[in-house]
Amino acid sequence: MMEETLHKEQRLGMVVSGSLTKGVEVKLDSDASVEDIAVGRYVTIEGEKRRFFGMITDVALDAMDPRLMINPPEVSDPFIAEVVAGTSTFGRIHVLPMLTLGGDALSLLEGPQRVKTVPSHFSVVREASEQDVGWVFGQVEERQFWIGTPLDMETRVRLNPEELVKRCNGVFGKTGTGKTFLARLLLIGIIQENAAVNLVFDMHSEYGWEGTSEEGRKVKSLKQLFPSKVAVFALDEESARRRRVSTDFVVEIGYDEIEPEDIEMLRETLNLTEASAQATYRLARHFGEGDWLEGFLSVEGREQINELAKGLGEHEATLAALRRRLDSLRRLRFLVPHARDNAIKRILEYLDRGINVVLEFGRYTDITAYMLVANLLTRRIHAQYRERMERAMGEDIAKPKPLVITIEEAHKFLNPDIARQTIFGTIAREMRKYHVTLLVIDQRPSGIDGEVMSQIGTKITCLLDDERDIESVLTGVSGKGELKEVLSKLDTRQQALIFGHAVPIPVVVRTREYGSPQSYKELGFREAIELKKKAEEETEDLWR
């Protein structure tokens, strides 16, 4: 059956040269139009003993006689043009073999295997069939999550959420390529299949109640799709009210909760010197751990600062500069002397009940507020998870549900200067040791520490045009040079290259539709419809 299907697919050409490390060159048949072939598509190669499955990574024009390039023939006559195209000139594609699809019954039972050799000379190359692609990526059942389809195909590509959450993952791409859209899809898949609970630091209020499509129209977000499984926390209650978003909890952070480590994280954004950052630790010892920030901000005037500096053994200019920089935190209205409720405790309560938490920042979209809150909350929540995991291992009790923490502008948290010191760098290196992983979203992957990038299990990459960013994303990937060409040719929207732990081979996908009533239904909106219907029925029962 598979062989019959195979031979129905269009023949493209035959293998003429190549190697295992660099891929194979394929001379196109005269009736195969080079204009119909695009990088990122899949082909199969019929070797003597086995079939190969690979990706087209380059398309080129060639000629039998190099002199034709210098003195092109007269092709105004269609007949002459056809003769020349069939005999003297030809198209050529470069294919990167990735898997062998088996040449005997045992190999077919074992499934696709990593390629360890190359097909023989003159092996026939054909377009991959839907069945071939389905065999490689697996069939998607009705309620399973899928992220998109390979180019010009209908086969659905599944990212197994349970495998996805075992490691940190990344969504990369230049501004405007749909990173938020893809990240939202990943979160939907994790929630839909109950693979983990999520804590999303939502810088631009796109993941909670509603977001914005790439065309600028409003689309339903996580809370509307999964009303009983998602809670919206807000730093800015006024912004949430103006957007008519019903919040589950309003977050306040007390000055007494901020530790010197939280300020050290802000060295770059607050423009602090090393001396100023270290002075915060001496201030904490002087005023007390819970009182140091409020106590220091209450110091007014040069005379008081000089007196404090003398008592601490600090330089007056260092303390004066630190005082000015920290004074900028007063504009963040969610910072109060003492919070009315414990945000960390509330977040953990929701996560323990299996409810995903989206923390919206409202008007506080500057990086200082984002880094302060994300770092402060994550450090403490991670500490709680670590304690619970150690207790579970020691007492042989149930482990906490895996937690995925989503951060935007990831290079600010994970750049080489601070990655080893931040909680996010620690989580990336732990490889889910304490059931906590990251979903990082960034337009500048080259700004992320190389060791952290190497720990990211699955990378979903939209178009990148900076050479350093492309190099960073593809570090350590087999076939890096060929995939670089594929990545640079992606469309600006609704296309992504996916590679890593959650897929058997790299794949270019056209992402699934999002924003129509049918797409909402497929993505879980049925739950919202059912809840609404149930609420209406209960209301009717009350009045009977």
314-369 confidence digits (pLDDT tens): 899 999 999 999 999 999 999 999 999 999 999 999 999 999 999 999 999 899 99
* CA-closest candidate to residue 187, choices 208, 157, 214: 208
Answer whether residue 145 is part of any domain: no
Q: Which residue has the higher pLDDT, 420 or 37?
A: 37
Answer whether residue 277 is part of any domain: yes
What confidence score (pLDDT) does residue 526 get?
56
Task: Locate 74 and state its tokens.
Answer: 């007269």
In this structure, are 114 and 228 located in the same domain? no
Is 35 exposed, middle or buried (CB count within 10 Å of its CB: 0-12, 13-18, 19+)? exposed
Is 299 exposed, middle or buried (CB count within 10 Å of its CB: 0-12, 13-18, 19+)? middle
Read off the CATH number of the domain in which 474 is found. 3.40.50.300
Answer whether residue 147 is part of any domain: no
Answer whether residue 144 is part of any domain: no
Residue the block writes with tokens 């631009």? 204
Express each pLDDT in 236-246 by its tens digit.
999 999 988 88
* Side-chain-side CA neighbours of residue 318 (13 Å): 17
- Among the candidates 294, 309, 331, a domain finishes at 331
What confidence score (pLDDT) does residue 539 get?
43
* Side-chain-side CA neighbours of residue 478 (13 Å): 14
Q: What is the mean pLDDT of residues 49-75?
A: 80
What confidence score (pLDDT) does residue 538 get?
46
DSSP state of 522: I
In this structure, are 57 and 123 located in the same domain? yes
Model confidence band, residue 229 (pLDDT cutoffs 50, 70, 90) = very high
Q: Which residue has the higher pLDDT, 496 or 109?
A: 496
C-beta of residue 132 within 8 angstroms of C-beta of residue 42: yes
- Rounded to whole angstroms, how far apart are CA atoms 287 and 15? 75
Is the per-residue pLDDT at 543 higher than 50?
Answer: no
What confidence score (pLDDT) does residue 542 get?
45
Average pLDDT of the chain?
87
- Among the candidates 298, 331, 364, a domain finishes at 331
- Rounded to whole angstroms, how far apart are CA atoms 49 and 106? 13
Q: What is the CA radius of gyration of the chain?
A: 28
In this structure, are 272 and 323 located in the same domain? yes
In this structure, are 289 and 351 located in the same domain? no
- Rounded to whole angstroms, how far apart are CA atoms 308 and 304? 6
Residue the block writes with tokens 């630091």? 201
SS (H, E, C) 494-516: CEEEEEECCCCCCEEEEECCCCC
In this structure, are 196 and 345 located in the same domain? yes
In this structure, are 379 and 304 located in the same domain? no
Answer whether residue 149 is part of any domain: no
**Domains of the chain: total:** 3
Express each pLDDT in 436-452 by its tens digit.
999 999 999 999 999 99
Q: Are strands 403-408 and 456-461 parallel, antiparallel or unpaired?
A: unpaired
In this structure, are 264 and 214 located in the same domain? no
What confidence score (pLDDT) does residue 530 get?
55
Express each pLDDT in 92-137 by its tens digit.
999 999 999 765 555 556 678 889 999 999 999 999 999 889 888 8
In this structure, are 509 and 385 located in the same domain? yes
What confidence score (pLDDT) does residue 162 get?
86
What confidence score (pLDDT) does residue 295 get?
93
What confidence score (pLDDT) does residue 64 get?
77
Task: Locate 49 and state its tokens.
Answer: 């003993």
Q: Structural domain of residue 479, as residue ranges? A: 161-252+340-517
- Rounded to whole angstroms, how far apart are CA atoms 353 and 4? 52
Predicted TM-score of the model (pTM): 0.87
C-beta of residue 407 within 8 angstroms of C-beta of residue 201: yes
Roughly how many angstroms between the first and final C-alpha of the chain, as a whole number?
61
In this structure, are 373 and 455 located in the same domain? yes
Which range is least confidently modeled, 89-98, 434-443, 516-525? 516-525
Answer whether residue 186 is part of any domain: yes
Is the dihedral angle over the CA atoms 35, 40, 43, 48 positive or is it negative?
A: positive
In this structure, are 122 and 176 located in the same domain? no
Answer whether residue 307 is part of any domain: yes
C-beta of residue 71 within 8 angstroms of C-beta of residue 62: no
Is the per-residue pLDDT at 3 higher than 50?
Answer: no
- Rounded to whole angstroms, how far apart are CA atoms 11 and 48? 16
Task: Locate 310 and state its tokens.
Answer: 């003398």
- Rounded to whole angstroms, how far apart are CA atoms 437 and 426? 10
In this structure, are 284 and 184 located in the same domain? no
Answer whether residue 524 is part of any domain: no
C-beta of residue 151 within 8 angstroms of C-beta of residue 515: no
- Among the candidates 103, 137, 171, a domain finishes at 137
In this structure, are 266 and 201 located in the same domain? no
Model confidence band, residue 306 (pLDDT cutoffs 50, 70, 90) = very high
What confidence score (pLDDT) does residue 444 get?
95
